Amino acid sequence: MMRLWVVNIFLLIAHLSYAQLIPLGSTWRYYDLGMEPPNQSSTEWEDLNYDDSTWDTGPAELGYGDNDESTVIASSTLTGYFRHVFTAEDPGDFQSLNLSLTYDDGAVIYLNGIERWRVNMPGGNINYNTFASSTSSENAVATTTINNFLLTGENVLAVEVHQRSASSTDISFNFTMTGVPLPGVAVILRGPYLQKANDTSMVVRWRTNLPTVSMVDYGDSPVSLTQTAFDNVLKTEHILFIDSLEAQTKYFYQVKTTTDTLLFPDSSIYFKTYPIPGEETPLTAWILGDCGTGNNNARNVRNAYYNYIGDQHTDMVLFLGDNAYNDGTDTEYQTALFQNMYEHKLRNSVTWSCLGNHDGNSANSNTQTGPYYTIFTFPKEGECGGVASGTEAYYSYDFGNIHFLVLDSHESDRSVGGPMYDWCEEDLMNTMAKWIIAYWHHPAYSKGSHSSDTDTQLKQMRENFLPLFESHGVDLILSGHSHSYERTFLLNGHYGLSTTFNTATHTVGVTGSGSGHQEDDGAYYKAPTGPESGNGAVYITTGSAGKTESGPMNHPAMYYDAVSLGSCVLTVHEDTLNISYLRQTGAVDDHFTLIKDEDCVPGAACSDGDSCTVNDVFDNYCYCRGESNRRYVSNSENEGEGSLRDAISFACEGDTIFFLTSVSDTIRLDSQITVSQDIVINASVSNPIILSGQNITRLFYIEPTVQLTLTNLTLFGGNEPIDGGAILNDGILALVNTLFVQNMQGPIPKAWTNRSEVLVKQGNNYIRLE
Amino acid sequence: METGWLFYLLMATGYFLPHGDDHEQIVALTKAIAQFPDSTELYMERGELYLLHEDPKAALADFSTCVQSNLINSRVYLGLSQSYLYLNQPDSALTYIDIALQLDQTNLAALETKGLILTQLSRFCESAEIYSLLSSSAQQPSPSIYLDASKAWLKCPETNANGQASLILIEGMSKMGRLHVLEKELVRVYLHEKRYEEALEVQTEIIQHWESKSKPYYERAEIYLLLGDQKSAKDDLNQAILSIDQLPARKSSTPAMVTLRHKIISLLKQLEG
């Protein structure tokens, strides 16, 4: 459904005609120590060369006292000092600069050390104690136009914001600066951003203020851009297709017209082609659901990822819909994605997206019209792998050995046998990829701000599409819509209401109902062949990259859920898929690992890495499992290989020790055996074993919390003057058909000393004194 | 003054606030309406949100208010029509969609809605005409428009509709390239019209173009059986099994492929038995 906001077109025009040099909400250095920042030799705080590295940093709006600040500064300061360093690569493009200041109560603005504008401040010298001329209104806005004083390269905009009086309770500061291009000079207003990548081609998109040719120089280093792609048709919305590229290769680039460079090359401006379909290549993807608020929530989530990923390349950014609130208009997209938001990442990572309901407010999937379809270029002819869908509403693509399906859960027909379903089935049938990942906006499982038990789109996607996906072995499904994070166990076969979910029957494998953490419950496992082949998928609702919204958060299919801001990081390398849920704080609050070992054959031998198990084999889910070890005593010696003492010392937790028939004599111990982990010593009824302390030693000491179970044994001649008898128990002693004969504490008969009072007796246990 | 008023309204409706879901927007609009009850634009906005929220009765009330207040535009009448359609009153929906189209003949959403209404009213010939018009009007029509048009043509009883169901699909493929959903529907249409040889021809092309050929072979075998050609059907079924066996193990052992294999073998046994 398309809703047009015709009334707001004037805003679009006003907002986008100029190049943003300092966007609203930018990050600033600030100084709030109740005094003017000290000079550095002769360099003053507003100068370009001033070292502000010790100042605090935070996004605008900065200030205190109004509870609307993104960054709260010290309320004790009368004057706040702010600096923002930015780069102007081609300042000659601008005839003037438009400044817009949000202030409370007065401010002085400097560009590269020289005062250029004074707002609500008295004339003459200004110092820390100078008060504003009058009380401003809350978050007053002032605008002006100044001459272009920009320097090529680094510039600094410095602002001091003053109180009206010492008793004033608030300071507010925010700022934007836009360059007004000279007549006839083209500048980039959006982008560049990357689309429709495959192993041999890339689409580079950008927007200019004036119609120009589309031209990109590219090459293997920023100083060697030896190749050029161009389109001579003059336009403002540039969609440049670059082909004949090498697979999995990094190309640096610059954006040009025939006469001017619009974006200069540097080490961060590059694109990297995808691997050849089918090749095993590591993947890193950043997943953003419902990110479109365009505010500091989204920026904090962004910053957390930037800190997390560092210099590592991100192969793709997946937008899970609702990319621009409230209606997915072009203006909203500008602030939600392209301006002071993800623009630096989108220059070198490929953007993919599915349609959200808010995007759908201004877009129509059946006619592929509206901003969403204008802004993005997706493969509808199967040109990035997969089957042609004929529409950008739903499509597929490959990254090496990973196949991605993108569905439209908002507006396209969701019925079984509908065009999207039929395409999906053919696409799944035809892909040979090892990993299959699907995403759409409305989650199949959620009890967040939307319920998958009641909401139409959510129910239909689960009931109609999940059986299809599961039958083709899809591994991971990503969605947004609910403004929270919810992550399931490894599921299979649940299409009903949340009340019908049963962990025992709807999770897959030994570890499927666990955390998926390799370090505790174990990773999730999927079998590539055998009776459980392809079974199991993890479903993630991650719709909190821009906002949070509470809900019941009680879907029983979830291993983990949280109402918190964050995004997900997906990595795939060979047999292993990892997801991390990254909070805006930088903390990783959830993660799991999914393993699909291509070499696994259920029933075949494997190694579970545990030396305490034997007969390790893959189960039907390709989880490698061994049996607890059975250790054998083969002789009646006091010590040495084959002895009982040796078997106990090499035993693992939970082991059972048996006696071979070759043990026909009494086992005579010279000293007691310490039992430090749970073991069972198990003789058979047909071959009863006698252990003797030879009246010189106790037989066993059991450490605290440890359980020793004795079965069908005779303990004979144990003697110890203190804590005497055959056994000293500080842990748990379990006796099954065990006979105690002639055990002593010095001269006094005593079968055992039990200090922990934990004693379990099963069957017939006798104590004989003779 | 005018600009300030507009500014306030936009603020109040959350336009400048980048937050908010449909429900929050409805709440904000309701507050704005309470403050400015004469602003019919606000009712229109809220009506559209109510439709998104699947609350057609509330939407209908808002759009009706717009009409009563003389806010006459295609958005209002499209909203009215869609509300009635939601409420399963296609006759009323048709009345209002026609007004919407009178006001804006190029409104693709209105054309699409009219096609849907006419289908609901079993007026398939008119529906087919509308979908065909939509497919030619839209710069980037989705496959579903051609499919809807074809299905409507197939149900149209008029004699001049003969062949239209397949033609519109062929037109779609000429515009969008080989799309399996259109090819598959074309086979279905040909079979429905008992044009078996043409169905075979399209199915053969599908086999040639698909990487995974097992299902297309199986489907062609079914066509051969309709033609009474058991030998060719058996050949195709054997080819289908061979195609599955040639797949990587992870592919051939998925539940979908295992099920397909069972179906093929079952059909083969029937033919051989």
CA distance B219 to B217: 5
**Percent of chain A whose pLDDT exceeds 70:** 97
**What are phi and psi for residue A436, nearest 5 degrees?**
-125, 125
**CA-based nearest residue to A688, from A751, A764, A754:** A764
Is the CB of B179 inside 8 Å of chain A's CB atoms? yes
Half-sphere exposure (Cβ direction) of A152: Cα atoms closer than 13 Å:
4
Interface test with A, best of B27, B179, B203, B247 (most A CBs within 10 A): B179
pLDDT at A654: 86
Q: Which residues of chain B have pLDDT under 70?
A: 1-20
**How far off is chain A from B267, nearest CA to CA, in Å?**
20
Three-class SS of residue A250?
strand
**CA-based nearest residue to A268, from A307, A213, A301, A222:** A222
B228-to-A491, B222, B232 alpha-carbon distances in Å: 44, 10, 9
Structure tokens at A469: 């996906």
Quick one: how far is CA B71 from the chain centroid? 30
What is the average pLDDT across A367-394? 96
CA distance A134 to A117: 17
- Helix, strand, coil % over all residues of chain B, rounded to 5: 80, 0, 20
Pairwise CB contact (< 8 Å): B138 & A423: no
CA distance A475 to A438: 8
Structure tokens at A209: 């203020």
Quick one: how far is CA A93 from the chain centroid? 40
pLDDT at A18: 66
Report which residue type is found at A582. L
| Chain B from 96 to 125: CB within 8 A of any A CB | 108-109, 112
Radius of gyration of chain B (CA): 26
Is the CB of A419 inside 8 Å of chain B's CB atoms? yes
**How far off is chain A from B272, nearest CA to CA, in Å?**
28
Nearest C-alpha in A relative to B258: A471
Three-class SS of residue A162?
strand
Residue A149 has pLDDT above 90, yes or no: yes
| Chain A from 577 to 616: CB within 8 A of any B CB | 596, 598
> Are A330 and A190 within 8 A, CB to CB?
no
Q: Which residues pair with A684 in a beta bridge?
A: A687
The residue whose two tokens read 């105690």 is A740
**Percent of chain A whose pLDDT exceeds 90:** 81
> Are A83 and A158 within 8 A, CB to CB?
yes
No. of H helices and E strands in chain A? 11, 51
CA distance A353 to A317: 8
What is the average pLDDT across A551-567? 96
Smallest Cβ–Cβ distance between A422 and the set B51, B54, B181 belongs to B181
Least confident of A487-491, A613-617, A664-668, A765-769: A765-769
Nearest C-alpha in B relative to A364: B109
Cis (ω within 30 of 0) for the bond into A348? no
pLDDT digits 0-9 by tens, A678-729: 999 999 888 889 999 999 999 999 999 999 999 999 999 999 999 989 999 9
Establish whether this prediction's ipTM goes over 0.95.
Answer: no
Q: Is the pTM higher than 0.80?
A: yes
Quick one: how far is CA A330 from the chain centroid? 28
pLDDT at A562: 96
**What are phi and psi for residue A483, nearest 5 degrees?**
-90, 65
| Chain A from 452 to 481: CB within 8 A of any B CB | 456, 468, 470-473
**How far off is chain A from B20, nearest CA to CA, in Å?**
7
Count of beta carbons in the 10 Å neighbourhood of residue A190: 23
pLDDT digits 0-9 by tens, A246-260: 999 999 999 999 988
Structure tokens at B72: 């006459």
Pairwise CB contact (< 8 Å): A418 & B140: no
What secondary structure letter does DSSP report for A78?
Answer: S
- In terms of DSSP H, where are the helices of A93-195? none
Is the CB of B55 inside 8 Å of chain A's CB atoms? no
